[in-house]
């Protein structure tokens, strides 16, 4: 007899499982805008947006995206700055760039239509096994698993799978188990049922087993080991990086923005000037300039005694506006935000922008947070 629990399920048990699970899904499925039909473009966009992002956050972005780019051709032809502006705030901006690259690939290689085989879907830029499985099963009824964190959690408890879900090599185990139980008649609904169950009932820390539609099939529930699964090794902590930021205003009430390089982290996006500093320098600045967070009533430092950016002819406020922290997947940025004024041209390539025109520029989350610090200081300043 096989030691794999899913191989011990008879065809009759698999069918019973599918019927009970899909019946629950039809009654309880979430009302989401990308579920109104099975159009592969809609499914594709939603699945990419949902990576690393909560469903309730994605909904508004999804509506705006589909309004701006209703077809694959519209996405392929979009100016990058417009695309990134629509995406602004979702993070992981390579997702948006990969979407456009894949749309252009679809026009060039597939006559403008989403391919309908798993291998061809996988050939598109930015599409991995999970997204291909979602598109293939939902839009083309291919019995292909869509395995994400929710699905691995459900399946690991269903069969008491001991493999570490943090290891890429473990995916083949979950793939094998899913192929045993997935519905060949309604694979898209089955995959979405798995996602809904994992997000609403079979949650990471406090699974609501009493409400679970597949409780009677669950090996972990039978053995009362729900919290033992999934097995997951700890992720490496993100590296701490320290910055000072300068919100610099000129006599025309314009602010200096700098564009990031066209590759790498936050590529081509706009931020207030940033300068990386050591942790010791960061701590020194933080302890020296935190007495008063008022914007204009605080002392300004003379040009011959700069706090930050010594090469800039800026008169700096001798206070910190605030501190911003932003976590990427592998980095944690710590930013001290300062305010300064200048009446000189800082550099030929400088971009000076009125506050009312900020909406024309693509701002990543760290920039939005820095802008929020400045606006909060403005709102509380009486001078």
Cα-to-chain-centroid distance, residue 143: 27
Active site residue 80: no
Q: What is the pLDDT of residue 299?
A: 59
Alpha carbon distance 71, 41 (integer Å): 7
Q: What is the pLDDT of residue 338?
A: 93
Q: What is the pLDDT of residue 1?
A: 47
Answer for the pair 194, 27: CB distance below 8 angstroms, yes or no.
no
> What CATH number has the domain spanning 5-228?
1.10.340.30
pLDDT digits (tens, 9 = 90+) for 9-31: 999 999 999 999 999 999 999 99
pLDDT digits (tens, 9 = 90+) for 27-43: 999 999 999 899 999 99
Answer for the pair 374, 321: CB distance below 8 angstroms, yes or no.
yes
Structure tokens at 364: 């990543």
pLDDT band at 312 (very low <50, low <70, confident <90, very high): confident
What secondary structure does DSSP assign to 61-97, as a single string? HHHHHHHH--SHHHHHHS-HHHHHHHHTTS--THHHH
Q: Which residue has the higher pLDDT, 329 or 306?
A: 329
Answer for the pair 383, 296: CB distance below 8 angstroms, yes or no.
yes
**What does R_g of the chain's alpha carbons equal in angstroms?**
26
pLDDT digits (tens, 9 = 90+) for 354-376: 999 999 999 999 999 999 999 98
Structure tokens at 31: 């009302």
Q: What is the pLDDT of residue 343?
A: 82
Q: What is the pLDDT of residue 308?
A: 85
pLDDT band at 235 (very low <50, low <70, confident <90, very high): confident
Contacts of 53 (CB under 8 A, 6+ apart): 90, 91
Please compute the mean of the pLDDT values over residues 311-334 and round it to a whole number: 90
Contacts of 203 (CB under 8 A, 6+ apart): none
Q: What is the pLDDT of residue 236?
A: 81
Alpha carbon distance 357, 353 (integer Å): 6
Q: Which of 314, 298, 294 is nearest to 306 (CA)?
A: 314
Q: Could you give the C-alpha distances from 126 to 7, 146, 198, 199, 208, in angstroms and in order?
A: 33, 15, 24, 24, 34
Structure tokens at 336: 């001290």
- In this prediction the pTM is 0.82
Q: What is the pLDDT of residue 295?
A: 45
Q: Check 7, 20, 28, 47 and give the catalytic one.
A: 47
pLDDT band at 94 (very low <50, low <70, confident <90, very high): very high
Contacts of 136 (CB under 8 A, 6+ apart): 116, 117, 118, 121, 142, 144
Q: What angle do CA 219, 223, 228 make, to 5 degrees?
A: 85
Q: What is the pLDDT of residue 277?
A: 94
Provide φ and ψ at 318, rounded to 5°.
-85, 40
pLDDT band at 297 (very low <50, low <70, confident <90, very high): very low
Q: 46-55, 164-173, 205-214, 298-307 — which is least confidently predicted?
A: 298-307
Give me the residue label for tokens 């417009």: 82
pLDDT band at 302 (very low <50, low <70, confident <90, very high): low
* 246 beta partners: 338
Q: Which residue has the higher pLDDT, 188 or 1?
A: 188
Alpha carbon distance 337, 285 (integer Å): 11
Please compute the mean of the pLDDT values over residues 277-282 and round it to a whole number: 94
pLDDT at residue 383 tops 50:
no
Range(s) within the chain of domains with CATH label 3.90.79.10: 239-380
Q: Name the fold adopted by 239-380.
A: Nucleoside Triphosphate Pyrophosphohydrolase (3.90.79)
Q: What is the pLDDT of residue 291?
A: 54
Q: Could you give the C-alpha distances from 6 to 146, 279, 365, in angstroms and in order?
A: 17, 52, 44
Range(s) within the chain of domains with CATH label 1.10.340.30: 5-228
Q: Could you give the C-alpha distances from 67 to 37, 60, 70, 149, 362, in angstroms and in order?
A: 16, 11, 6, 30, 19
Please compute the mean of the pLDDT values over residues 167-171 and round it to a whole number: 90
pLDDT at residue 298 tops 60:
no
Q: What is the pLDDT of residue 374?
A: 92
pLDDT digits (tens, 9 = 90+) for 113-132: 999 999 999 999 999 999 99
Q: What is the mean pLDDT of the chain?
A: 91
Contacts of 167 (CB under 8 A, 6+ apart): 233
């Amino acid at each position: 007899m096989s030691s794999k629990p899913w191989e011990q399920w008879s065809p009759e048990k698999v069918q019973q499982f599918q019927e009970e699970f899909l019946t629950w899904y039809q009654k309880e499925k979430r009302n989401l805008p990308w579920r109104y039909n099975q159009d592969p473009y809609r499914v594709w966009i939603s699945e990419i947006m949902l990576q690393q992002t909560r469903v309730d956050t994605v909904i508004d972005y999804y509506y705006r995206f589909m309004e701006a780019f209703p077809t694959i051709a519209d996405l392929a032809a979009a100016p990058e700055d417009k695309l990134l502006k629509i995406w602004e705030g979702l993070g992981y901006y390579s997702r948006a760039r990969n979407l456009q690259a894949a749309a252009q690939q679809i026009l060039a290689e597939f006559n403008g239509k989403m391919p309908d085989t798993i291998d061809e879907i996988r050939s598109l830029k930015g599409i991995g096994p999970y997204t291909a499985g979602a598109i293939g099963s939902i839009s083309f009824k291919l019995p292909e698993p869509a395995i994400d964190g929710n699905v691995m959690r459900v399946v690991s408890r269903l069969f008491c799978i001991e493999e570490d879900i943090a290891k890429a090599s473990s995916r083949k185990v979950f793939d094998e188990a899913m192929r045993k139980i997935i519905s060949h008649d309604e694979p898209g609904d089955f995959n979405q049922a798995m996602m809904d169950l994992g997000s609403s009932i079979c949650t990471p820390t406090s699974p609501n087993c009493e409400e679970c539609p597949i409780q009677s099939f669950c090996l972990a529930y039978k053995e009362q080991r729900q919290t033992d699964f999934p097995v997951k090794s700890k992720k490496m902590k993100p590296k701490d990086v320290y910055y000072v930021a300068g919100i610099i205003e000129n006599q025309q009430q314009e602010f200096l923005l700098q564009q990031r390089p066209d590759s790498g982290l936050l590529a081509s996006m706009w931020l207030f000037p940033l300068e990386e500093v050591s942790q010791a320098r960061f701590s020194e600045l933080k302890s020296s300039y935190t007495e008063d967070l008022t914007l204009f009533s605080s002392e300004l430092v003379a040009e011959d005694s700069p706090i930050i950016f010594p090469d800039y002819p800026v008169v700096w406020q001798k206070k910190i506006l605030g501190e911003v922290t932003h976590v990427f997947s592998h980095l944690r940025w710590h930013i001290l935000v300062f305010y300064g004024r200048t009446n000189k041209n800082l550099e030929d390539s400088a971009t000076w922008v009125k506050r009312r025109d900020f909406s024309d520029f693509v701002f990543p989350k760290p920039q939005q947070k820095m802008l929020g610090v400045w606006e909060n200081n403005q709102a509380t300043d009486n001078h």
